[in-house]
Amino acid sequence: MNLLVTGGCGFIGSNFIRQRLAENNPLLARLVNLDKLTYAGNPSNLADLAGDPRYVFVHGDIGDPILVARVLAEHAIDAVVNFAAESHVDRSIDSPEPFIQTNVVGTLRLLNCARQHWTGLPEPRKSGFRFLHVSTDEVYGTLAPGDPAFTEETPFAPNSPYAASKASSDHLVRAYHHTFGLPVLTTNCSNNYGPFHFPEKLIPLVILNALEEKPLPVYGDGRQIRDWLFVEDHAAALWLVLQNGRVGETYNIGGLSEKPNIEIVQAICALLDRKSPRPDGRSHIIQITHVADRPGHDRRYAIDCTKLRRELGWAPRESFATGLEKTVDWYLTHREWAADITAGKYARERLGTA
């Protein structure tokens, strides 16, 4: 397989790439990473792969059809995994248009190129081609405390510009399968966490702020509930779906770990109290600061991943406790990575919680 990964320098994409290449799977001949390198695309996430002969980096935009068509043809691509997206809700509230350009227009152009490439493939490569679109549980809207978790049949009800742009891209992927026969797969995941997570998101922001004795911002009462999925478990699920998922189907991927945001922050503080105590001996919990809630903040997300477990035998390997400890340990040993990102232009941007 020659695999094209878009947005591979981002958080989830880079973990997916690292996992694939670490496996030394003889079926994977080449992995091409096409990334625009926006604020969340960090080439240092994959810097140590530069010498791997299977890995090719291409700097570019999924919205550039000439470039995408050339990459698909030159590298004889057999499958596409689309991570490329604007993904931060706060940024979509501040400025929705980039989300429409990347997540909707960019996905449309990528689909057009993939369809043209797939149409011209000889058998059996044509029947084996796949387009995997990576999406989010936010397309489903919000849940009340007693509501059942989102399934693949839950109607879309996006509540932020980010969620609306991802719902639009999901609809386009579905339409290209039903109209043109493009062999697509879609996944909708819950909140990811783990190594290489961009520092404006909740878990890395709390870890880094705690270490720097800065306030730990919590929106509103902090009782917003999310299902938390360790990124390496997500990457493994995506690989299973790409290889064995039924064409045209959607698969929800969740961590089976619903937690209120305030409990996440408290758990991080408890880990850091043990692993990196404050100089004054007090708990990092004293740094928690409640801030005004985000406009239209969804109250609860929860993923039902029964379909994925039943059809493909997947289950998360990490509990939230083990995954969070691994994440905290990673940030403690990669302070320079985080400092490089938050320095300069990133230090001047408003950081928020997810």
pLDDT in tens, 90-137: 888 899 999 999 999 999 999 999 999 999 999 999 999 999 999 999
Domain around 97: 2-194+228-256+301-318
> Which range has highest mean pLDDT (80-94, 229-243, 330-344)?
229-243
Please, where are the H alpha helices in the chain?
Answer: 11-22, 65-74, 89-94, 97-99, 107-119, 125-128, 161-180, 202-211, 231-244, 261-275, 306-312, 320-333, 335-342
Instruction: List all residues 6 or more positions away from 153 whose beta carbon is below 8 Å from its beta carbon.
Output: none
On whether residue 39 sits in a domain, the answer given is: yes
Query: What pLDDT, on the 0 to 100 scale, is given for residue 101?
Result: 95
For residue 58, the cross-strand partners are 34
On whether residue 291 sits in a domain, the answer given is: no
On whether residue 177 sits in a domain, the answer given is: yes
On whether residue 8 sits in a domain, the answer given is: yes
Query: What pLDDT, on the 0 to 100 scale, is given for residue 350?
Result: 36
Catalytic one among 138, 152, 258, 318? Answer: 138
On whether residue 222 sits in a domain, the answer given is: no
Q: At residue 177, what is the residue type? A: H
Query: Do residues 148 and 304 lie in contact, with contact meaning Cβ atoms separated by under 8 Å?
Result: yes
Query: What pLDDT, on the 0 to 100 scale, is given for residue 349?
Result: 43
Q: What CATH number is attached to the domain comprising 232?
A: 3.40.50.720
Catalytic one among 90, 137, 200, 232? Answer: 137
Query: What pLDDT, on the 0 to 100 scale, is given for residue 351?
Result: 40
Is the pLDDT at 354 greater than 80? The verdict is no
Catalytic one among 162, 176, 219, 301? Answer: 162
Does the annotation count 251 as an active-site position? no
Name the domain count of the chain.
1
- Cα separation, 321 vs 117, in Å, equals 44
pLDDT in tens, 182-217: 999 999 999 999 999 988 899 999 999 999 999 999
Predicted confidence band of residue 11 (pLDDT cuts 50, 70, 90): very high
Does the annotation count 329 as an active-site position? no
On whether residue 53 sits in a domain, the answer given is: yes
Query: What pLDDT, on the 0 to 100 scale, is given for residue 163?
Result: 95
On whether residue 296 sits in a domain, the answer given is: no
Does the annotation count 138 as an active-site position? yes
Predicted confidence band of residue 348 (pLDDT cuts 50, 70, 90): very low
Predicted confidence band of residue 52 (pLDDT cuts 50, 70, 90): very high
What is the average pLDDT value for the chain, to the nearest integer?
94
On whether residue 200 sits in a domain, the answer given is: no
pLDDT in tens, 282-296: 999 999 999 999 888
pLDDT in tens, 218-252: 999 999 999 999 999 999 999 999 999 999 999 99
Is the pLDDT at 78 greater than 50? The verdict is yes
How large is the average pLDDT for residues 50-67?
96
